[in-house]
Amino acid sequence: MEKEQEQKIETNIESPKNESESTNKSEVEEKKEVSPEEKIKELDDKLIRTFAEMENQRRRFEKEKEDAFQYGGFAFAKEALNLIDNFERSKQILKNDESIKDTEALKKTLEHLEIINKDLISIFTKNNIKPIECLNQKLDPNFHQAMMEIEDDNKEPGTIVQEIQKGFTIKDRLLRPSLVGVSKKTQNKEEENQENKENLESE
C-alpha cells in the first residue's frame, strides 16, 4: 500500500511539470510562427537594401572610373614638369655664363631651347595641363604660394610681381602652385627702425 501511495504522489508531482513544459513549447511555437504578410514585408526590406547597396557600389565605381580617366596621368604629369624647370634653369645658366655672353652661339642655343620649351607647353596644353598665369594678379592661395615680399609702391600690396617657378593645373585640379614674390609698400627708414626696436624690446 505504501508503494502504491508513493507512486501516486510521484505521478501527481510530475504531471504539473509536464503540463507546464507543453504550455511553454506551444508559446514558443506561436512566437516563432510568422504570418505570410510579415515574411513578404521582411523580404521586401532585404531586397530594397540589396538594391540600394548595389546602386551605391555602381556610383562609386563610376566615380573611380571617371577620376582614373581624367586624372590617371596626374603623377606622371607632375614629374614631367621637371623638364620645363630644367629648360628654364639651363637658359639662365647659359645667359649668366660670361665666356659665351653676347655670342652668336648663345643666341642660337637659346632660340632652340625656347622652341623646345614651347613645344613642351603645347603638348601639355593639348592634354589639359596648363600653366597658371600669375604676374600682376592678386595672390590666390588656391593657385599661388608666396615665397618673398618685394617692396613696390606702384603695385597694390599682395600683387604678384615675380614668378619664381611656374605653376600648372590639370583640367580643374591644381597640379602644382606657382611660386611667386608679392609686392608690399616701401617702408621708410624711421618706420623700419621703430619696428626693429619694438621687435628687440618684445624679445
**Rounded (10°) angle between helices 74-96 and 104-126:** 170
55, amino acid identity: E
> What is the chain's alpha carbon radius of gyration, rounded to the nearest angstrom?
41
Partners of 176 in beta bridges = 168
pLDDT of residue 90: 86
Phi, psi of 133 (to 5 degrees): -80, 125
Distances (CA, A) of 71 to 3, 128, 173: 94, 10, 9
Rounded CA-CA distance 136/149 in Å is 14
Grid cell digits, residue 123:
603638348
Partners of 129 in beta bridges = 170
pLDDT of residue 13: 47
DSSP 132: P
The pLDDT tens digits for 128-163 are 888 998 998 999 999 999 999 999 888 889 999 999
Distances (CA, A) of 31 to 27, 34, 130: 6, 8, 70
In order along the chain (203 residues), what is the average pLDDT of each group of 10 residues?
49 49 50 74 82 79 64 76 85 86 87 88 87 90 92 89 91 89 78 62 62
Rounded CA-CA distance 64/70 in Å is 10
In angstroms, how far is the first alpha carbon of the chain from the final one?
113
pLDDT of residue 192: 57
